[in-house]
Amino acid sequence: MAARFIPLQPKKQMKLEEENNVEDKKKKKINIEKEKFLKDKKEEINKDKENDKNIEEEENENIEQQLEDKKKKKINIEKEKFKDKNSKNNKKNKKLIINRNDENEVIIKNKDIETKERIIEEEENEI
């Protein structure tokens, strides 16, 4: 016997088509939900990557700022040392007296020595 195609009755055929349509709609809905879920996941991953990148940039900026601060602090310390040295030198220089005589020659005297000389001269004058 040869198998023959027997057409379904119209009601059964409509019922089958409706079931197929319902299944197709469910599959489409599921696919849309999957796509939406995957899209959301990708966006979330991208946001996380961007946040990580921003955090890393901030940390790098903080490290750079700390290094700059350390350099500035070191420079300030060096400046203070230099100022201290200069102030000591200035104190020494203040003890020196610079005079010009009649022939415009520069005469430099140490204040301490001059003071001692004056005291000695005054003592001699008193005697």
Number of Cβ within 10 Å of residue 8's Cβ equals 11
pTM over 0.75: no
Q: For residue 86, what pLDDT is reported? A: 65
What is the rounded distance in angstroms from the CA atom of residue 28 to the CA atom of residue 49?
A: 31
What is the rounded distance in angstroms from the CA atom of residue 7 to the CA atom of residue 1?
A: 18
Q: For residue 99, what pLDDT is reported? A: 59
Sorted by sequence, the CB contacts under 8 Å of residue 23 that are 6+ apart come out as none
Phi, psi of 15 (to 5 degrees): -65, -45
Q: What is the mean pLDDT of residues 77-82?
A: 82
Checking if the pLDDT of 97 tops 70, the result is no
Checking if the pLDDT of 111 tops 60, the result is no
8 Å CB contact between 113 and 127: no
Q: For residue 96, what pLDDT is reported? A: 54
* Domain-wise residue ranges, the chain: 18-95
